[in-house]
Structure 1
Amino acid sequence: MADLAEFVREAEYLTSKGREAYLADSMDGALLRNAGERILIKVAAVAEKLPQAFKDAHPDVDWRGINRMRNLVAHHYDRGSHDLAWAALNVRIPELGTRLSQD
């Protein structure tokens, strides 16, 4: 869970740069998107390894959605996936961190 908490902090730091910076057609934007995609992939890797009993105890978490987002960012490189990745980084990952920290 410590890994997941660290990835939540990384997502919060990245999104503090702003959506415009993340989606910018520049080297800085590309680096932010690459970092964001890596965060999403790492979150999914941690989630995949969690015991099923833990996942069952947290039915409010969209565990399948986490894996689907990983697949999207890992295999689709279009603008639409950047918008979805931003939404996951800015909203879904912090929500996940909040839910899991309540344990």
Structure 2
Amino acid sequence: MTPTPDPKVVAKALAELAEAVKHVISQGRELFLSDSSEAELLYLASCQVIIRLQAMLEDLPAETVARCTDLPLAEVRGMRNRMAHGYLDIDKSMLWETMSGEVIPLIENILGKIED
């Protein structure tokens, strides 16, 4: 059995992930939704954010996860599964809305629960 990482290590990784999200968002919706090669990179980065976020959630101690019952953790897992398995029907505008409006608040909420 793999030992559970220190919550502070997970918190640091989550903070770094939040910076990646901020970078994607800073590029703007128009570029994100375009058909350019830059848009493809932003899309792939966004998929990786969701995949990594789920992995980090799995690394949290059970007592921290127990404090997260008000968070959409099952939805993160479901979205991660769709992205990790390479499904081609990911709606880019939905992904943009998730990245631009939901991921940072979710990470901040998780970080607050780690600190509790």
One-letter amino acid of the counterpart of residue 39, structure 1: V
1:54 corresponds to: 64
Q: Of residues 84, 87, 92 in structure 1, which corresponds to 2:94?
A: 84
Task: Give yes or no for the alignment of 1:35 onto 2:45.
Answer: yes
RMSD across aligned positions (CA) = 1.5
Distance 2:39 2:13 in 1: 25
**What 5-or-longer segments of structure 1 have no aligned partner?**
none
Q: Which residue of 2 aligns with 1:16?
A: 26
1:26-49 Cα offsets, whole Å, 9 max, x none, are 111111101111111111111122
TM-score by length of 2: 0.78
Of all paired residues, the percent bearing the same amino acid is 25
State the Cα distance separating 1:79 from its structure 2 match: 5.1
Distance in 2 between residues matched to 1:76 and 1:85, nearest whole Å: 13
Aligned CA distance change for structure 1 residues 49 and 101 (closer, same or farther; 3 Å): closer
Match in the other structure for 2:5: none
Alpha-carbon deviations, 1:53-95, whole Å to 9, x = none? Answer: 1111122211111111111222322352x22222221122111
What's the TM-score once normalised by structure 1's chain length?
0.87
Bigger Rg over Cα: 2
Which one of the candidate residues 44, 55, 64 is aligned to 1:45? 55
Q: Aligned pair count?
A: 102
Equivalent residue in structure 2 for 1:66, among 53, 58, 76: 76
Quick one: structure 1 residues 79 and 57, their matched pair in 2 at CA, closer, same or farther if it must change by over 3 Å? closer
Runs of 4+ in 1 over 6 A off after TM superposition: none
Moved more, 18-27 or 82-91: 82-91
Gaps of 5+ in 2: 1-10
